[in-house]
Amino acid sequence: MKQLFYKYQGTGNDFVMIDNRLGVFDKSNTQLIAHLCNRRTGVGADGLILLESQPSYDFKMVYFNADGNESTMCGNGGRCIVAFARFLEIIDGDTKFLAIDGPHKAHISEAYVELKMQDVSTITSTDNYHLLDTGSPHYVALKSGLDTIDMNAEGAKIRNSNPFSATGINVNFAEKMDDATFSVRTYERGVEAETLSCGTGVTAVAIAMFHSNQTASTSIKLETQGGVLQVRFEPLPSLYSEVWLCGPTKQVFKAELEW
């Protein structure tokens, strides 16, 4: 069987992207999806994303982790699928689409995508870390000497520890660069390794740093290994609203799958 696909990346977070509006791709084939995401024997990606038709929306986003399992929201994947939808001429500048965590609005100008994330109402904080869900569950800790950390080892240790081992958690370490800038490194569950960037991760870092009084800014620059993202939000008494994840996207190539 043959299938046209595209490769997209957003600040180094890369995805196999497939137009599945005709519903021909087998979403239950976990082994195939994992194979396609494998960097040695397949295409290579942090995840696979299907663009599907959805009544009352411009499209639907279905996201799979690199292990082949359907997963929770992916922020950079959400930005990339907006760029893909524009390439397919489904949308122009503004869009509303459906993902696993609910509806999302977005705006694209050239290759720069601003994606509205879900409101965040619950943050659990300890002396050492913060837990919050920005479409996917995240652990956020402030660290110094971020460049020297073995992120795969430290991230895996936390991800597989109690009480996170059952469902897993994404692990983010952040270092404050100035009052409105943080450097971020992320270990992603499902990929089970450090990724160059994580959209829901930097969103979690931005909100956690404001929540813990590390910054007074509501528009925060996040420097990842794959590039720079911007997160802005509106803090309300009981939640964080108008959460927007902003950054560049790029179509890397298109090709044909055969299996």
Q: How many helices (H) and strands (E) does the chain have?
A: 4, 17
Tell me if 66 sits within 8 A of 191, measured CB to CB.
yes
C-alpha 72/C-alpha 101 separation (Å) is 7
Say which of 37, 80, 198, 246 is annotated catalytic.
198
Q: From start to end of the chain, where are the E strands?
A: 2-10, 13-19, 47-52, 60-65, 94-99, 102-109, 112-116, 123-125, 130-133, 137-142, 170-178, 181-188, 193-195, 219-224, 227-235, 240-248, 250-258
Catalytically annotated residue among 37, 74, 80, 246: 74
Cα distance between residue 71 and residue 130, in whole Å: 22
Give me the phi and psi of 68, to 5 degrees please. Answer: 95, -5
Place of tokens 């992120």: 151
Question: Cβ(202)–Cβ(224) under 8 Å?
Answer: yes
Instruction: Please check whether residue 47 is in contact with residue 17, taking contact to mean a CB–CB distance below 8 angstroms.
Output: no
Q: Let me know if 198 is a catalytic residue.
A: yes
Instruction: Measure the CA–CA gap between 216 and 224, rounded to whole angstroms.
Output: 21
Active site residue 246: no
Taking the C-alpha atoms of residue 124 and residue 178, their distance in angstroms, rounded to an integer, is 24
Which active-site residues does the annotation give?
Answer: 74, 198
